[in-house]
Chain A
Amino acid sequence: DTAVSQTPKYLVTQMGNDKSIKCEQNLGHDTMYWYKQDSKKFLKIMFSYNNKELIINETVPNRFSPKSPDKAHLNLHINSLELGDSAVYFCASSLRGFYEQYFGPGTRLTVT
């Protein structure tokens, strides 16, 4: 009974392609997030959604488009992939407020 799950776990694709990553949580949380962890291991927030509504968009290129069909799901679509998009993308969830966040296993994206 995985709490926060992501698919796929690995994604290898060529520059210029479009790809999606899916995330689901069964913790009953109302807020979900996407983070990017680059090659230097720095973990940075990209987006935050609360009850399907976008709360945070941290100056991410508009090639990245999150979508939340319901509060248990948050997907990330990336258009026109670039070499610099290679990273590990983590989904997370929490209750809204000053609470800890729980992370999915990550999607390791490699753009060639």
Chain B
Amino acid sequence: RKEVEQDPGPFNVPEGATVAFNCTYSNSASQSFFWYRQDCRKEPKLLMSVYSSGNEDGRFTAQLNRASQYISLLIRDSKLSDSATYLCVAQPSTDKLIFGTGTRLQVFP
């Protein structure tokens, strides 16, 4: 079983749609969680950290459910520029990030 599991997609959505990605992690000792975005042939870039209380950054909302070991990302009012691969990340120790294999999003006009 992978340590961080995501639906690989692709999710094909029209501009303006709301889309949600889910992710589960297996190591209950994980203390920090993140969503990264990776564009084709580019490096992963931090999108947002995920806090237990849930957090929002503009059109993006992240949620964490520690009991179910589940993380989610909601994107509202999708833009063409949101097309990318979204990587769910758990941090089980101070020096190690565990990445999911990513969920690909394609927003079409």
Contact = CB atoms under 8 A, between A and B. Distances in A.
A and B found bound together:
yes
Interface of A: 31, 33, 40-45, 48, 50, 55-56, 90, 96-106
Contacts of B95: 31, 33, 48, 50, 55-56, 96
Contacts of A98: 31-32, 91, 94
Contacts of A42: 99, 101
Interface in B51-109: 85, 87, 91, 94-97, 99, 101-102
A23 to B, nearest CB: 12
A43 B44 contact: yes
A98 B94 CA distance: 5
Contact of B43 (A45, A50, A103): A103
Given A43-B87, A105-B43, A99 B99 contact: no
B21 interface: no
B90 to A, nearest CB: 11
